[in-house]
A and B are shown apart, each in its own frame.
Chain A
Amino acid sequence: MKISLVGDAAITKSNSWRVRYARMWRESPRSFRIGFMILLFWVVVAIVGPFLAPFGPTQIGTGIPLSGASWEHPFGIDQLGRDVFSRVIHGAHIVLLLSISATLCGLVIGSFLGLLSGYIGGWLDEIIMRVSEAMISIPFLILAMLIVAVAGPQWSGNPILVIVAVAIVYIPRTTRLARAASLDIITKDYITIARLRGEPSLSVVRREMLPNATGVLLVEFATRAGFAPVLIGSLGFLGFGMRPPTPEWGLMISEYRELIFLSPVTLAGPGISLATLVVGLNLCTEGLARMLGRSGEGVSA
């Protein structure tokens, strides 16, 4: 009761946003704060890292290959004599960009389809859901490879193709989730009111349903975004994704996996980086979901 709602409104507009964000930060769950710090760290690394990295991502002869960790080479040196630490730093923006944009594409399209399918129901629902289920039944790696293969060799190694492939893998999964969320939302009377006033279907989905599904969708975004680097790396490893020598973390894990006994730190470098990024993303979005879902309903994922 020290700060009432009325009191807040009285604060002048110029600094009100600062007060609001400061307050939001104070009231946010601890998981969000930790996750946010980790994420912020990686975003900073992705932006300024390339300028500060001691070596280039493909620069060879930086030291004795597989010589293990040292102050100069914290993650050691790979079999070609490249500094793994520098490669991890140079790879950060690639990983972030690829995985987040791919997940975002999949999420936006998938949630739109799912919500629409749930709202309209009937035959459209049947078609969308059966197609989604058929796609889910194909293992995701095989599906992604299929897409890359269909695109043809001229697209090979193109980041856009990787994004599209991952997005298509994610769409049916997100569709199912969004539809499940919509089934609860469409029973609410505000949807009936919208229908009664003759609101167009797309408008109902965007205005009335989407804001109420954000909690679920954000959590979905977190888990999917966390998994995306792994998927992209697997594609790269199989020769369907990014091509060496791109310092993409998943690709690096694949490349260095033989070194696990020779120089474990070399594998651990990109591995731990990926793990912290995934954990950070998860903590952050989970906390965000809890904050956005004021009442906490529909967020338990």
Chain B
Amino acid sequence: MSAKSPILSIRNLSVAYDGVDGFLEVVSDVSLDLVGGEALGLVGESGSGKSTLALQCLGYQHPRARVLQGKVFLQGKDLLNLGFEDLSRIRGKTVSFVPQNPTTALNPAKRIGQLFTELLLHHGVVRSNHVAAKRTTDLLSQVGLPDPNQMIRRYPHELSGGQQQRVCIALALACSPDLVVLDEPTTGLDVTTQEQIIGLLVRLRQQLGLSMLYVTHDLALLSQIADRVAVMYAGQIIEVAPTVKLFKEPLHPYTRGLIASVPHFLSANSKIGARPLQGLLRRADLPDGCRFSTRCEHVTDLCMDTRQRLEATSTDHYVACHRWNHIKVTFNEEKKSERLIRQKAEAILKIEELTVTYHRSGSSIINYFRTPTTPAVHNVSFQIRRGGIFALVGESGSGKSTIAKSISGIQPLDGGKIIFQGSLITASIGARPKNLRKEIQYVFQNPDASLNPRIKISEIIGRQIEILNDCGRDEIGERVMIALDDVRLDRSYAKRYPDELSGGERQRVAIARALIVNPSLLLCDEILSGLDVSVQASVLDLLRRLVLKKDVSMLFISHDIAVVRGLADDVGVLYDGCLVEMGTNEEIFSAPFHPYTEMLMKAVPKLNKKPLFDNDSHQITPSEAKKVGCAFCGRCSKKIGEICEVTPPPWRLFGQSLYIRCHHEGEELKMVPDQK
């Protein structure tokens, strides 16, 4: 492979953004080669400059960005010196781009077919609409979309997120490019969809011999798709190595921290022998020397002053750390998770046969005459033990958040009971007394939306006790400070506005706001999904500590089954508004498994996992054959036959307290999710 000449080569590239305080360098002195047919992964936290670098490979830069120095060669052509005409001839044809968010990338006003025709005609790949349509259907079936002839007549919003991303990939492949740049193509998708997309990419690569530059923050994903990985930190490439080698013996302390931050659930993360990353990437105060030195545990005085350059440690492994040789890989014994097994039988919250239906939104007068739609949550019952963490797992749209909203009182119920601390509580928040409102606190997924951008942190947190607790006005300030200490934020943050904080810090503020009133139940709705892997690890750690310290119970909602494994006491797996499996953590993660749970577990990207192939059998839309038999039967790999479609599966007890909703008896469900 090394004999081939590079298709893309970046030489000493530095890019800066024109900011308020002058130019801010986001990419510094990066050199990188990509040979034909290779898949290069580019990994880093948000703000590390990876997207900026990726866009430069298409000769594109943000209007406020300036290239300070360096060159980008694509097949020998200097992209940065080409005019607009030349660039537009190259983009899409020689190099193409798959964006992060397909929903905004596809023009909503155009049919899928039009999107392709436009592109194909522009690049002169085809001469007529008719041939373009033919090529489009070929492309669509190539990316595994069902019924391509129908598909070209559809509008983007009629497709699911995964299908939209497949369309984006097909668009990128339309003119048979030599290089495809993918910028976090699966970040917004469900785990199971993500697995399919990755499988598709791996298959396409083998079929077409594509070169890929795959940008992501998810290191585990890269192990499945990339040949080589470049790790980026604060605008610099700090380590480049073949994927297998990087995961086996990472040299840079940052890479090690990154790997250690990935939540694992089947294998121990002990091989690397590093602790999860500490602190945050702050672009405002980077040291002169090694940029990672402020967060590095092996830091010396020399690191602070000397700039580190990439040096070869072997023929294909480069690292920008001058102490790489001195840092010994320490083998940590895997720490048993610090979960206390508090088997207090007493339930703090009991949900009985909860059913919620969303009524169509719109004008209330018109709504009045409409019939309700199908339930989003259907007959769900579970209980949360005092001091315990109950996790709800499921894909988006499975009704996880709806359940949390019903408990909190903002979502009216259509049936069922909520029993809190032994007494039935009213469903409507308006009718709940103050002490009850205090007891149940909610933390939302997206701190950008849950913190008012125009209110200072001190007031955001303080208002919560001002309304809910009877404490003096002078006391509030002190309580806010203590709350900030609890979530390990500096007290000076009280004077700031939310947009002056990073995503992880904002989520900490949201947690502080919920915990300041000393609630007994905390509803956490996907609170980690918007955060970087390294930040996730630290927030998770914080949460674990606070739950112990404050003695709160928690409903933890997540789509990430690996996180749940490390945190929860009890787990419920939700599919399409129905609980399909429920039990203690240990029971859920050992046989027998519900086929859906098994699928979720297999979909989690793991380090060292062999690449998967596209498996289209799971792709049938779940809406088929619904509501009569098993909701999951359309996607189930262990479907028995007629019975699954016609008869609702039984809710059966397996072992001590594990419930599974499936027609299968125990034996068939014992397939252990293997490592393959």
Residues of A within 8 A of B (CB): 1-6, 9, 27, 121-123, 125-126, 188-190, 192-193, 195-199, 207-208, 211-212, 214, 294-295
Contact = CB atoms under 8 A, between A and B. Distances in A.
Closest 9 CB pairs of A and B: A211-B454, A189-B450, A189-B444, A190-B452, A189-B449, A4-B284, A188-B449, A197-B467, A198-B437
B24 A192 contact: no
Most chain B CB inside 10 Å of its own CB: which residue of A3, A126, A192: A192
Interface in B386-439: 408-410, 429, 432, 434, 437
Given A1-B21, A190-B451, A195 B429 contact: yes
A2 B20 CA distance: 10
Contacts, number: 83
Contacts of B434: 198
A292 B248 CA distance: 50
Nearest to A210: B454
B513 interface: yes
B285 A211 contact: no
B63 interface: no
Contacts of B284: 1, 4-6
B453 A6 contact: no
A75 B513 CA distance: 63
Interface string B33-51: 0000000000000000000
Nearest to B25: A1
Contacts of A190: 449-452, 460
A2 B453 contact: no
B452 A212 contact: yes
A123 B410 CA distance: 19
Interface of B: 20-22, 24, 283-285, 363-365, 408-410, 429, 432, 434, 437, 441-442, 444-446, 449-455, 460, 463-464, 467-468, 492, 499-500, 513
B444 A192 contact: yes
A193 B467 contact: no
Given A192-B410, A211-B455, A212-B454, 14 more contacts: A4-B284, A4-B285, A189-B446, A190-B450, A190-B451, A190-B460, A192-B444, A193-B513, A196-B409, A197-B437, A198-B434, A199-B467, A211-B454, A295-B499
A195 B431 CA distance: 12
A289 B451 CA distance: 21
A188 B283 CA distance: 28
Contact of A126 (B283, B364, B437, B468): B364
A27 B464 contact: no
Chain A interface main SS type: helix
Given A126-B364, A211-B454, A197 B463 contact: yes
A235 B283 CA distance: 58
A199 B499 CA distance: 23
A198 B513 contact: no
A123 B368 CA distance: 12
A129 B447 CA distance: 32
16 contacts: A1-B24, A2-B21, A2-B22, A4-B284, A6-B285, A27-B20, A126-B365, A189-B444, A189-B445, A192-B410, A196-B437, A196-B441, A197-B468, A198-B434, A211-B452, A295-B453
Contact of A193 (B21, B22, B444): B444
A123 B444 CA distance: 29
B450 A196 contact: no
A211 B468 CA distance: 23
A241 to B, nearest CB: 38
A197 B434 CA distance: 8
Contacts of A4: 21, 284-285
A84 B365 CA distance: 57
A207 to B, nearest CB: 7
A103 to B, nearest CB: 23
